[in-house]
């Protein structure tokens, strides 16, 4: 099977009702990034940070995977699929994707604030002040904040560099190092970008831009592009 790597951002979950970060309706229009998603904010006011993520969590809990998440999961019938997501929601998993790498953490996990290896799956329970890890210190969300290392970045680069097909859905490609992943894709492989808005990508060969929302662009990707590739390989 061909290796298909799908790299997603907030846009794939937009039609599930989860707000994106940038743009006129983006979360960062309402909140200052540094008040909610930074080590500085955590040091200054952990209660505020926990409230911010408890709200995000309630939103994710109430959301359902949309057609784009579902189709990405179904691609596993024809391809060896690896999903790399910047999203902290679990909608890829709930849609049935079995191989999902979260670059910026996962809202359904907490972690120790003194040992980044102590990670706990807590589902949709809130984290509140006084909830401690086994070392007796405050739990924080298992989210990668601005200014922090992205622990899964090396793994993501490796997956992209071995891809046969690379698909990007719903990211403004503004946040590094994640945005640089596209440069790790082999030059000769087919690359697809699905987003309803203009995205600046320079010097990328073999890139097809499907300028549509995720739930419209993903069926186009499959029916007009991937099926043709598979037919060439006699795999359909």
Tell whether residue 21 is a contact of ligand APR (CB under 6 A). Answer: yes
Determine the distance from the C-alpha atom of residue 53 to the mean position of all C-alpha atoms in its chain, rounded to a whole number: 16
Nearest Cα to Cα of residue 185 among 167, 201, 171:
167
Active site residue 184: no
Q: Is 219 in the site for ligand APR (CB under 6 A)?
A: no
Q: How far is the CB of 134 from ligand APR (least distance, A)?
A: 27
* Piece in contact with ligand APR (CB under 6 A), picked from 6-14, 44-52, 121-129, 134-142: 6-14
Identity of the residue, 29 or 233, whose beta carbon is nearer to ligand APR in the bound complex: 29
- CA pair distance 105, 145, nearest whole angstrom: 9
- Catalytic hit among 69, 104, 184, 225: 104
**Listed ranges 13-21, 133-141, 160-168, 181-189: which one lies at the site for ligand APR (CB under 6 A):** 13-21
Judged by CB under 6 A, the residue of 46, 180, 196, 219 near ligand APR is: 196
Considering only 4, 10, 106, 107, the residue that binds ligand APR (CB under 6 A) is 10
CA-based Rg of the chain, rounded to a whole angstrom? 18
Closest approach of ligand APR to the CB of residue 234, in Å: 32
CB of 232 to ligand APR, least distance (A): 27
Site string for ligand APR, 143-172 (x = CB under 6 A): ---------------------------xxx
Q: Say if residue 116 is exposed, middle or buried (CB neighbours under 10 Å; 0-12, 13-18, 19+).
A: middle
d(CA 188, CA 55): 43
Q: Which stretch binds ligand APR (CB under 6 A): 9-17, 41-49, 51-59, 115-123?
A: 9-17
**Residue window 89-128: x/- pattern of binding to ligand APR, with contact defined by CB under 6 A:** ---------------x------------------------
**Residue numbers annotated as active site:** 104
Residues of the shown chain interacting with ligand APR in the complex, contacts defined by CB under 6 A: 9-12, 14-15, 20-23, 26, 86, 104, 170-172, 174-175, 195-197, 199, 213-214
């Amino acid at each position: 099977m061909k290796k298909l790597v799908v790299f997603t951002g907030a846009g794939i979950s937009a039609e599930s009702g989860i707000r994106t970060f940038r743009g006129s309706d983006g979360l960062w229009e309402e909140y200052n990034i540094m008040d909610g998603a930074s080590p500085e904010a955590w040091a200054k006011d952990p209660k505020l940070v926990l409230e911010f993520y408890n709200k995000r969590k309630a939103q994710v809990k109430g959301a359902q995977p949309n057609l784009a998440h579902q189709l990405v999961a179904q691609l596993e019938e024809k391809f060896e699929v690896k999903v790399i997501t910047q999203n902290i929601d679990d909608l890829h998993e709930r849609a049935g994707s079995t191989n999902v790498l979260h670059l910026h953490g996962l809202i359904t996990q907490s972690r120790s604030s003194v040992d980044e290896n102590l990670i706990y799956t807590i589902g949709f329970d809130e984290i509140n002040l006084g909830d401690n890890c086994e070392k007796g210190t405050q739990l924080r969300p298992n989210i990668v904040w601005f200014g922090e290392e992205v622990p899964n970045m090396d793994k993501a680069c490796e997956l992209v560099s071995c891809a046969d097909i690379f698909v990007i859905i719903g990211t403004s490609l503004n946040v590094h190092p994640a945005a640089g992943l596209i440069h790790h894709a082999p030059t000769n492989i087919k690359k697809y970008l699905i987003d309803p808005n203009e995205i600046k990508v320079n010097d990328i060969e073999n890139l097809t831009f499907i300028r549509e929302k995720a739930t419209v662009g993903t069926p186009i990707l499959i029916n007009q592009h991937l099926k043709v590739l598979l037919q060439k390989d006699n795999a359909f």
